[in-house]
Amino acid sequence: MRVACYVDGFNLYHAVNELAKPHLKWVDIHAVAASLCRPGETLVKVAYFSAYATWLPGSYARHREYVAALRNSGVECHIARFSEKEASCKHCGSRWKQHEEKETDVHFSLTLLEDAFDNAFDRAILISADSDHVPAVRRVRTRFPGKQVFIATPPDRFGKARDLISAANSGTAITAGRLARNLFPATILDAHGVTVTTRPPSYDPPPGWAPPP
């Protein structure tokens, strides 16, 4: 059985950020997806969807390094954009710039649907707890009843994903321990041994840390 995994980058990132364990942000998504496969299944695709916060230099740099690590591991990365608009307070009149993520959810849903129509998978794993993906999941299950859709929610998000899990065949929660067992090494090398990128210092594990068994 062929498995394709679709990763909601922001949903996963914010869940990990709330754990206050920044070393888990350096997670090898391809390895996590492989760990979610059942015996006899073959992981044929991992797709990651996110956008760069270009107005935040530190965050932007770390995200680019992470995407380089993902691409080197074979993950298909879809990077969308943020739009900028003026916001204001009705009471005090102060104004500021506000950034809004654009296109990520659309790319996620369209890719899932296109792959279903192209018969690219037998089982889809969605790493997300966002109910915005419910219509796409329902459409896949309606049009392709022989295909399965499985939800793997980011840490501590299972309770927020009831609608998404109900639309799918089944679901489970990704634990912090699963992420910790599937981190990238500090230095990412390509097939020729050349350095692709290195782990940002802020993602270094705490002293004495070791992955759980």
Tens of pLDDT, residues 130-182? 999 999 999 999 999 999 999 999 999 999 999 999 999 999 999 999 999 99
Whether residue 176 is contained in a domain is answered as yes
DSSP codes of every residue in 68-131: HHHHHTT-EEEEEEEEEEEEE-TTT--EEEEEEEESHHHHHHHHHHHHHHTT--SEEEEE---G
Range of the domain at 74: 2-85+93-203
pLDDT digits (tens, 9 = 90+) for 44-69: 999 999 999 888 899 999 999 999 99
pLDDT for position 212: 87
- Residue 125 belongs to some domain of the structure: yes
- Tally of domains within the chain: 1
pLDDT of residue 99: 47
Q: Which amino acid is located at 102 in the chain?
A: K
* Within-domain flag for 210: no
Structural domain contains residue 104: yes
- Which two tokens mark 139? 């459409």
CA–CA distance, 42 with 46 (Å, rounded to integer): 12
pTM above 0.85, yes or no: yes
CATH code for the domain of 120: 3.40.50.1010
